[in-house]
Structure 1
Amino acid sequence: MKNLTLSYPPMPAGADKNVVKPSKAFKKYVYLSIGAILLFILTYLFLLCGSLAIAVAFGMVGYYIILAGIGFWGLLLGISLMIAGVLLVYFVIKFLFKRSRTDYSGMIEINAGDQPELFRFINQVTAEAQAPSPKRIFVSPEVNAGVFYTSSFWSMFFPVRKNLNIGLGLVNSVNISEFKAVMAHEFGHFSQRSMKFGSYIYNLNKVIYNMLYDNEGYGKLLNQWARIYNMFRMMAMLNIQIIRGIQFVLRKVYGVLNKTYLGLSREMEFHADAVAAYVSGSNQVLTSLKRIDIGHASYSTLINYLNSNYTIIKGWLICTPCSRK
């Protein structure tokens, strides 16, 4: 990538800036996204308040049963009701304790000191696309480029800067003008304020997914409690029935959020394409897509060949057909 800045492709002459303005369909899905977010918030608050009310009712009934002093089984019933209420509330808020980790395997971070020409190139593209610079830049073997960021429930409330992943397979598949078009597309995502709504919906989907399907740890906790006494098992069954009702409501909201997220994602891709065409020219966008398809097919063929004919043994790449001779 030597002397990269000397051959920086200029913007198309007379480019119409109106092409990067959000379309009516784009705005429509932004409003739908806002509506979906509000729907989730209201639904979740309703479920949380309902769970708290049930937990308080269980706690009060259990407390009065214990005060009644009706013996050992009465004590167990009172305690089991209290525990059932606590576990129900925990189910509704357990996503808060879910850790989110970004997988950096297969990626290597680079910096301006190592690749000054590349960073100058990227800074110029971000200036033309009127987008913020990426927080961190990584390279990987892929025939692609992408925007990613560490996403968690708390990232909806605190700003999170986006990272850029550049596939070296992509660099080897396109020319410098097409590379600029691909980078401009990615920075088109950087410039989208609506990406925040996409982040909200993505994280809310994760919250619902956690309560619908990511329940292995909660199930183990419930089973351990239920095994202690038959009375606890009865309360665990009651707890499960209430949770099924909560999940029924969440599935309906999950469908609305997913449809909205897919619609917004599609419009965001269209907008990023418009930014790329504005910054680098429409021809560069089209030819880069064709070259990426060819590069991706070649990369996949190579990986499949290596997987079929080679294996790694103690750090050595061994030719499997050769070892059989």
Structure 2
Amino acid sequence: MIDTITKQPTAGLIGQLAQPSAAYKRSARFAVAGLLGFVLGYFTLAAFFLWNAWRLGHTALHAADAGGLWLLVGCNVFFGLFMLKSLFFVRQAMPAGLTEVTAKEAPRLFAFLHELADAAGAPRAHRVFLSNRVNAAVFYDISLLNLLLPSRKNLEIGLPLVNALPLGELRAVLAHEFGHFAQRSMAVGRWVYVAQQVAGHLVAQRDKFDSLLDWMARIDVRLRIFAWVLQLVVWSIRSLVEMAFRVVLLMQSALSREMELQADLVAVALTGSDALVHALHRLHAADDAWQRALQFAHNEAAQGCAVADVYAVQSLITRRMAAILDDDAYGRVPPVPAEAPARHRVFREQLGHPPRMWQSHPLNHEREENAKRHYIAAAIDGASAWSLFEQAAVLRARMSAALVGHPQPPLAPVPLPDTLQKVARLYRREQFNRRYCGIYFGRDIARHAACAADLRQPVPADAAYGATLYPATLRDDVRQLRALREEREQLQALVVGRTTARDGRVRLRGEHCARRELPAALARTTRELEEVEERLRAHDLRCRGWHQAMARQLGGGWQEYLDGLLAVLHYAEHAAADVADAHGAALNVVAVETAARRIDSDAILRVVTSANGLHRVLELVYRTASQLALDARLCRRLGAEEGCRELLGEFLLPPAQPDNLGSWLPAVGHWVEHTLNRLSALRSAALEQLLVAEALVARHARRGTVPQPAPAPTTVPAGYATLPPGAERPRRDKLDLWTRFLRADGWLPGGARLLVAASIVAVTLFAGLEQGTSTAPQGKRTDTLNAAGSVVLVK
């Protein structure tokens, strides 16, 4: 049921809306109990080992033959120190990339924050930091000392978020953060953070303790057995700690979800029901545009040029992407209807969701339902959020410069208008022209064809036919393609179990679909998607065929020129797909072979074999790329006058070997990233030049004029590798039972590992206690006679 509160939001509404719910209180109790249980169990086990070592040592001092006891003392000290060592690796919780701002530097911002904190009934921020993330967050100064003493909360404000939101929506986001400031249960998160570092270091880190056991196992056969026993106990301790902390994380995740919903209600009470929802809606576009702006800034830095204001680039990209995607909702919020605004929804529920137990935040549609359960109508201030900073231009320039650090030599300054013109040219390319209805965005053009000749079909050389190539109905097919892709992806996740549906039923296209019906629904969606893709491919064939026919009629080498561009487009798409697939296959082998955290010689050989398969693919790409002969216009568009030899560079990576895998695997990742970036640039330039050339041919065909002769066409070497869809290298998506047991992957393997580990630790503890008792000093036995002649036992 939805209640509508017509009065303006005020701080007084916090008491009405933002009181902790029963679920919140229950989650808080469970989280605290689970965390205390984990800490108590952890320190009890560590203390037991050290206490047992002291007890056995005391016993050994009075024993006649204490060699075995001293060995047990050493083992217990080893286990106790093994558990306590992780306490010394707790790090500060200060996120990287923060720049502190003070009230003296930004008085208007601090006045705004203080007013908001006071209205929320929350403590003011101890310190305020700015960052280059699309984020706003609360964090503590965390150390072991802060677990016992109160720690004040700091506030992070991401400037890309400031850039993307109007002032009213930013106020809602910050009101949400001050809702966290007022939550005493935030302390649980502080303790969980420290516990997570301790448990994570114990479970994942391999240090001198493990090296000592490995060294002992190599010295002698007798020591090897002893070392194996110690390693088995260490594995059991690690397994117990990991499984116990998983339970703590589950409880903390449940509490975190309730805390987010309660903090949302604080924002609703102060800013209304719509502002926070609108801000959440803008986050996707803000993050997407920011990542593109970052990539542009780093590319410019690689060329020695500085970007004066990356936030201006982000804003421009947001506007251009909305036009390219033909999506009015990209970076913008649909207007709230005048009638029944409380029933207006911005987010829709997805078909499936990740398992709820591991989610630390509610889903967006759940947050919207929570915010509008008691609807509060309020106007949203549309002023720029940069108005909170007195010297916004100076701040934007300083934080933009911080993105690339301090390169040597220093980057050359570039006027902002010149930078924005360059960005506009990048996003005003021919392939983004609205007349193409988005058919060339986010879609392979040549990947499905075995050779470039299969990318066109004969079409009559009729000049009037060209006007019908890109009808308005094509836009509907492109939208349907994106919708079906998204639907198929969600259904695939449901079928394989990566996501789950609420109540076991999925609402698909307005109808409820049971889980047993999902495979059939997936097959139907896949079939519909293939039909749309086939229609679009047929459209591509007609477009290429008509332009080929008109180019043949015009003469001047234009048909050969279009053929060359189509060939290099085919090469670039297949080469990139082959490299990405080989890299993915190699990573899959590495992931499978290292899943158990230990790797033997046979597994190393399998990793090396897969890695060298990737090496051969890269070697072939670089060899064939050096044989490409690109035409002059394509070279200029690429910015590589010498063609692909200059574009890719020389391939210098040696083959993988067992002794260089540690450095080879990170290195090949950089080579793959570089190669894919360059092939993507080649593919984009080839597509752009193809469309420009086709537009030129179409224009002359309509006017009945003859163009200048075409440049010498691009030539592509024969024999390059192709990878059509469906021919990808096989992947292993399931682990064997032994590896699943070692990783506790699933309820049954996890339960089995817990049982085995707990049994080994229990036997170890019991054996230690029994050994100390059974070998307690007995003293000397003397038989003598008393005065009555009876035998007396003297100890």
TM-score > 0.5 by shorter chain = yes
Task: Decide whether the 8 Å contact of 1:147 with 1:165 is kept in 2.
Answer: yes
Distance 1:298 1:217 in 2: 45
Q: Name the amino acid aligned to 2:20.
A: P
Please name the residue that 2:134 is paired with: 143
Counterpart of 1:31 (choices 23, 29, 32) is 29
Distance 1:299 1:167 in 2: 11
Helix, strand or coil at the partner of 1:139:
strand
- Whether 1:109 aligns to 2:100 is yes
Shift in Å at residue 276 of structure 1? 0.8
Distance 2:120 2:238 in 1: 43
Helix, strand or coil at the partner of 1:22:
coil
Q: Kindly name which structure, 1 or 2, has the bigger radius of gyration based on alpha carbons.
A: 2
Shift in Å at residue 61 of structure 1? 7.2
Task: Decide whether the 8 Å contact of 2:90 with 2:144 is kept in 1.
Answer: no
* TM-score of the two chains, using structure 2 as the length reference: 0.36
Deviations 1:76-126 (A, max 9, x none): x66654433321110121122114134554221111111111111100000
* RMSD between superposed Cα atoms in Å: 3.2
> Where in structure 2 are the equivalents of 1:147-296 lying within 5 Å?
147-223=138-214, 235-296=226-287
Please name the residue that 2:116 is paired with: 125
Helix, strand or coil at the partner of 2:164:
coil
Q: Name the amino acid aligned to 1:100.
A: R
Q: Identity across aligned pairs (percent)? A: 30
Task: Decide whether the 8 Å contact of 1:58 with 1:82 is kept in 2.
Answer: yes
Please name the residue that 2:84 is paired with: 93
Task: Decide whether the 8 Å contact of 2:137 with 2:157 is kept in 1.
Answer: yes
Task: Decide whether the 8 Å contact of 2:179 with 2:262 is kept in 1.
Answer: yes
Task: Decide whether the 8 Å contact of 1:84 with 1:235 is kept in 2.
Answer: no
Shift in Å at residue 28 of structure 1? 1.3
Which structure's residues are more often helix, by fraction?
1
- Whether 1:44 aligns to 2:30 is no
Distance 1:224 1:58, change over 3 A: farther
Task: Decide whether the 8 Å contact of 2:14 with 2:120 is kept in 1.
Answer: no
Segment drifting more, 168-177 vs 242-251 = 242-251
Distance 2:71 2:294 in 1: 56
Distance 2:283 2:225 in 1: 59
- Whether 1:12 aligns to 2:25 is no
Distance 1:322 1:105 in 2: 35
Please name the residue that 1:6 is paired with: none
Shift in Å at residue 275 of structure 1? 0.7
Task: Decide whether the 8 Å contact of 2:120 with 2:178 is kept in 1.
Answer: yes
Q: Name the amino acid aligned to 1:176.
A: L
Distance 2:212 2:223 in 1: 12
Shift in Å at residue 206 of structure 1? 2.6
Please name the residue that 1:21 is paired with: 19
Distance 1:114 1:24 in 2: 43
Task: Decide whether the 8 Å contact of 2:117 with 2:124 is kept in 1.
Answer: yes
Number of aligned positions between the proteins:
308
Task: Decide whether the 8 Å contact of 2:52 with 2:73 is kept in 1.
Answer: no
Helix, strand or coil at the partner of 2:85:
helix
Q: Name the amino acid aligned to 1:12.
A: P
Segment drifting more, 302-311 vs 224-233 = 224-233
Counterpart of 1:134 (choices 109, 125, 128) is 125
Unaligned runs of at least 5 residues, structure 2: 1-7, 305-406, 413-421, 423-636, 642-795
Deviations 1:211-259 (A, max 9, x none): 2222334323544566677766554433322222322322331221011
Q: Name the amino acid aligned to 2:92.
A: R
Distance 2:96 2:204 in 1: 26
Q: Name the amino acid aligned to 1:22.
A: P
Shift in Å at residue 272 of structure 1? 1.1
